[in-house]
Amino acid sequence: MTQALPKPRVKLSKLRDIGWRLWDPIGLLGSGGHFTGKWTDEANAKFANEYDSYLISAACQLRDGEARDQVVKYLVQIESDYMGLGRRPTSQARAEAVVAAILADETIWTYPDDEGRFERHA
């Protein structure tokens, strides 16, 4: 019996690029944010992972075939309810932009080799 290969894994740096550029619901790096630059800047290292769990969940939902509108709804709900920020005029559009960017980025996933191993990055 052949064992199924593991599902592809998301490249966190690519996902962070998308999330920080298009979503950033708290506004840490946005206009009027408390910090400047990019999530990769050393000064921002302490909060670079702020949105990781939500973005990874959204990406994996898409990878697993969840409907686009459901993933948008998930991101809006995280922002408005879980983070307690309420639904803002830009919530829907930012969530839609994140979902579209994840779906459009063909390099966001890393795939296992024929033996199910993932490449190790040094």
Domain boundaries, the chain: 9-29+47-108
With 70 as the cut, is the pLDDT of residue 1 above it? no
How far is residue 86 from each of residues 2, 23, 25, 122, measured CA to CA in Å?
Answer: 48, 15, 10, 41
Tell me the pTM. 0.86
Rounded mean pLDDT, 78-105: 96
- Euclidean distance between CA atoms 66 and 62, whole angstroms: 5
In whole angstroms, what is the distance from residue 20 CA to residue 48 CA? 9
pLDDT value of position 35 = 76
Give me the mean pLDDT over the 74-80 stretch: 97
